[in-house]
Structure 1
């Protein structure tokens, strides 16, 4: 998977990538319920919120970069990749700027049927939760991380064999996945209510 949509630059990379908690990941949902999603896309520039009771994943990497909108404006983001992810009780919310209106999505509310995704790539600006990393490596070269997607040679990065986040709360600019399976999907127009 190539990162044509998320243009990496060296500005501020060490600052974004140095904190493992920010490094962690965000989670899914770019408005696509299931199927292949192209990585090369211009972001809207509007952020959305994602929350989940828990996220478990294998094959994780993170580095800092920038995502471009349709006008070519660059937005600094932390780029996270997860090979395989499972999320429980997922919520995504998007507000319409200037109006008491929004979109509210939930999925994976049944503990026996969580949300699943493969080859996730998330561009985010904020992440909160309690994170546990298995076999973590901090300070590796971004071109050598253990995921298909990777950063540029000489850039700071981190990766781990596994990741577990409890009480996930994330602010994201974009998410893409090779396969994104949302069980018990519920999408509704809201009064601007957000996940957190």
Structure 2
């Protein structure tokens, strides 16, 4: 799956000081999110959850942003990865349907025994992140305009010039749980893909 240059993130006066553990979880969601969404989009207003057993990433960048949907503006932490390899990926979304009730869609891929999930030029916009993380050569407090280790903000991003960012040569995330608004990617290869739709709540966590 291919996507064009990423957009869809709108900035207001928003400043976030993110610790490495928060940044770590965000990167995971990248891999687990909705495949490769079209790069220029307004978020749906429907959040989704993601889990992963492990993510190995090369080229990491993280900064704050606002996503815009029909229901308003949502503060997020945006994570970018040049390349990522993910084991045991799960993504779920619950959609309330009038009269019928909740309907859940769950996607899994890269389970033990399957080839791992692979992606490049991944971006994810998350607002709730939990994970264990190990960074290699991390820089915290870099200007977003001066990041060089990850993909950086893509050409379509609208961000506050010289705002806070962090970057690292590589990252390893384990035991990831994340809630996100959106994800986009250059390519996303999902090995052993399985999808299930059912009534009620059937989430990854």
Q: Is the pair's TM-score, using the shorter chain for normalization, greater than 0.5?
A: yes
Question: How many residues are paired up?
Answer: 189
Question: Is the contact between residue 23 and residue 78 of structure 1 (CA under 8 Å) also seen in structure 2?
Answer: yes
Contact 2:117 2:190 in 1 (8 A): yes
Which sections of structure 2, spanning at least 5 residues, go unmatched?
154-158
**d(CA) in 1 for partners of 2:114, 2:107:** 19
- What SS does the aligned partner of 1:97 have? strand
1:10 match:
13
8 Å Cα contact 2:34-2:182 kept in structure 1 = no
How many angstroms does 1:47 deviate by?
0.6
SS at structure 2 position matched to 1:50: strand
- Tell me the CA shift for residue 40 of structure 1: 1.0
Does the Cα contact within 8 Å between 1:108 and 1:114 map onto a contact in 2? yes
- Inter-partner Cα distance in structure 2 for 1:3 and 1:189: 28
List 4+ stretches of structure 1 deviating above 3 A. Answer: 29-32
Give the match for residue 177 of structure 1. 185
Shift in Å, 1:38: 3.0
1:154–1:8 CA distance, 2 compared to 1 (3 A): same
Return the match for 2:140 from 138, 162, 165. Answer: 138
SS in structure 2 of the partner of residue 89 of structure 1:
strand
1:8-87 to structure 2, matched below 5 A, reads 8-11=11-14, 13-14=15-16, 17-24=17-24, 25=27, 26-32=29-35, 37-69=37-69, 71=70, 73-87=72-86
Distance 1:87 1:43, change over 3 A: same
3-state secondary structure, aligned to 1:143: helix
Question: What is the CA–CA distance in structure 1 between the aligned matches of 2:175 and 2:93, rounded to whole Å?
Answer: 19
Matching of residues 183-194 of structure 1 within 5 Å: 183-190=191-198, 191-194=200-203
Moved more, 174-183 or 96-105: 96-105
Question: Which segment is superposed worse, 104-113 or 40-49?
Answer: 104-113
Task: For residue 27 of structure 1, give the secondary structure of its aligned residue in structure 2.
Answer: helix
**1:119-175 deviation digits (Å, cap 9, x = unpaired):** 000000011111000100000001111233325432111000101111011101011
Q: Which moved more, 1:106-115 or 1:132-141?
A: 106-115
TM-score scaled by structure 2? 0.85
Cα RMSD for the two superposed structures: 1.9
CA deviation map 1:84-136 (0-9, x unaligned): 00110100110112623200110001355110000000000011111000100
- Structure 1: distance between partners of 2:34 and 2:143: 32
Q: Work out the CA distance in 2 between the residues paired with 1:178 and 1:2.
A: 8
Supply the distance in 2 between the matched residues of 1:55 and 1:192 (Cα, whole angstroms): 26
